Structure 1
Amino acid sequence: MPSKQPVAPAPPASTYSDVDFKHLLEKDEVFKSQWDPSSNAKYLKTADASRVATAKSALEKNGFGVHLVKDRVQAFNKIYELIPEGASVATAHSTTLEEVGFINYLSDGKHPWKNIKDAIFAEKDQAKQQELRRTLGGVPDAFLTSVIAVTEDGHLLTGDQVGNRVGILIHGSKQAIVVVGSNKIVKDDSEAMTRFKSHVLPAVDAYTRKVFGFPKITVGNVATVFISYPAQRIQVIIIDETLGF
């Protein structure tokens, strides 16, 4: 059985500041016109301690493991602690994971895990690469991502374009680690969808324009995760910072 790594290195700085929420909103005129600060500015604020405690208690009742940390450095340390040495690791795109330094750390190769993306991108035949995404990429030991929202009654709202994030989070990975700023805590499932449509989607579209040159993204899947099954399979790290979309 692989052992856990008890001591984390210092997290590297993020090199993705040009595609975080703040910079996309400043630079993308379409985003500026779509994002209404009067209704969405609240999603850029950290949740107070009572809301965090309510969400934590509800998540735990629903079988999720929950870890409260004060900042992105503690979040990086907790991620490092949770992933066993030698584990295969996959990630979905996550601005939050970029901001805590985890994406840069995983990319530099100097870590104790097996980065599944290394094996996938080493295959240059596109058909074979796609098959690796479906097989090797669909069943990692540890899958790391963020989510659209965490509700006070202990649910996670997630979504994606083709099904990889939703499928691996719900069932594909042996372990899933969800990393979120407390600004993603909302009252209930209804508000989670409101946050998704009014706040997250315009930001993701701006990211798509910046990175891929497409006008917007097509979201093919949105799912609510009500419980972690088996219990503790999904670990949620809640950071007392405003992070991600």
Structure 2
Amino acid sequence: MTTQATSFGEPVSAQRLEGAAAALTAHGFTVEVLDDMAAARARVRELIPDGASVFTGASETLRLSGIDEDINGGGRYEAVKPRALAMDRATEADGIRRLLASPDVSVGSVAAVTETGSLVIASGSGSQLPGYTGGAGRAIWVVGAQKVVPDLETALRRVEEHCLPLETARTMKVHGWPSAVNRLLILNAEHVPGRGTVLLVREAAGF
């Protein structure tokens, strides 16, 4: 018998994915269902205009798909993350904070999507959250089909039981310290038409 923790890493059925897409659409998000991450990567390029300031939240989905490199290393956009990393955190902290909070576009992923139409985002630093909640002119989330869950209760379990252990393994390897769910954002609706786009991918992507 498959355990719930194991199924958190498995793509849901097409019917459940379409149901989540319909619920998100009813809550004001712009939703597209795409076949694979290659299609999502191409779609992100189409959605972001040349020269836009773009901030990418920390995301294995973006890293593994090549979207992170497209934005931060491609030269097509005004990439916020490399600029912020080059600034002095002691003397330019206010500038970094403002830079991250209000880009033209914020791009990232989520920890879970509920079939009731909510997005759940967990964060250690919170750096991506201001842009997601309304600071960015637009937000784009690229989401694998394994992240669809029935409801918020299950979404929070997915964060703690599935995402956190995987992210801790990553941060221990890269930085030498464990991850933590210090901030948790739940987006139940998008009231500005066209501001929040969710690209749901039929395959598993990221954590």
Q: TM-score, normalised by structure 1?
A: 0.80
Give the counterpart of 2:102 among 136, 139, 151. 139
2:85 corresponding residue in structure 1: 121
Counterpart AA for 2:86? A
SS of match in other structure, 1:135: helix
Q: CA deviation at 1:139?
A: 0.3
- 1:67/1:236 contact within 8 Å kept: yes
Give me the whole-angstrom Cα distance separating, in 1, the residues matched to 2:72 and 2:130. 23
Counterpart AA for 1:117? K
Q: CA deviation at 1:204?
A: 1.2
Give me the whole-angstrom Cα distance separating, in 2, the residues matched to 1:217 and 1:122. 23
Q: TM-score, normalised by structure 2?
A: 0.94
Counterpart AA for 1:69? L
- 1:121/1:129 contact within 8 Å kept: no
Give me the whole-angstrom Cα distance separating, in 2, the residues matched to 1:242 and 1:118. 28
1:31 corresponding residue in structure 2: none
1:243 corresponding residue in structure 2: 205
Give the counterpart of 1:96 among 61, 65, 69. 61
SS of match in other structure, 2:15: helix
Whether 1:174 aligns to 2:137 is yes
Could you report, residue by residue, the CA deviation over 1:17-64 in whole angstroms, capped at 9, with x for unpaired residues? xxxxxxxxxxxxxxxxxxxx7331112211111101110110000000
Could you report, residue by residue, the CA deviation over 1:217-238 in whole angstroms, capped at 9, with x for unpaired residues? 2322112100012132110001
2:165 corresponding residue in structure 1: 202
Q: How does 1:154-169 map to 2 (within 5 A)?
A: 154-169=117-132
1:27 corresponding residue in structure 2: none
Identity %: 32
SS of match in other structure, 2:90: helix
- 1:120/1:129 contact within 8 Å kept: no
Give me the whole-angstrom Cα distance separating, in 1, the residues matched to 2:111 and 2:42. 23
Q: CA deviation at 1:138?
A: 1.0
Q: CA deviation at 1:129?
A: 4.0
Give me the whole-angstrom Cα distance separating, in 2, the residues matched to 1:197 and 1:117. 27
SS of match in other structure, 1:237: strand
Moved over 3 A (4+): none
1:16 corresponding residue in structure 2: none
Could you report, residue by residue, the CA deviation over 1:116-160 in whole angstroms, capped at 9, with x for unpaired residues? 12322333x332343232011110000001001001011000121
- 2:102/2:130 contact within 8 Å kept: no
Q: How does 1:1-245 map to 2 (within 5 A)?
A: 38-111=3-76, 113-123=77-87, 125-214=88-177, 216-245=178-207
- 2:146/2:204 contact within 8 Å kept: yes
Q: CA deviation at 1:91?
A: 0.7
1:22 corresponding residue in structure 2: none
Give me the whole-angstrom Cα distance separating, in 1, the residues matched to 2:55 and 2:71. 10
Give me the whole-angstrom Cα distance separating, in 2, the residues matched to 1:244 and 1:109. 21
SS of match in other structure, 2:40: helix
Give me the whole-angstrom Cα distance separating, in 2, the residues matched to 1:72 and 1:136. 28
Could you report, residue by residue, the CA deviation over 1:54-84 in whole angstroms, capped at 9, with x for unpaired residues? 1011000000000111011100111011111
RMSD: 1.4
Give me the whole-angstrom Cα distance separating, in 1, the residues matched to 2:181 and 2:93. 20
- 2:89/2:96 contact within 8 Å kept: no
Which ranges in structure 2 are unaligned for 5 or more consecutive residues? none
SS of match in other structure, 1:150: strand
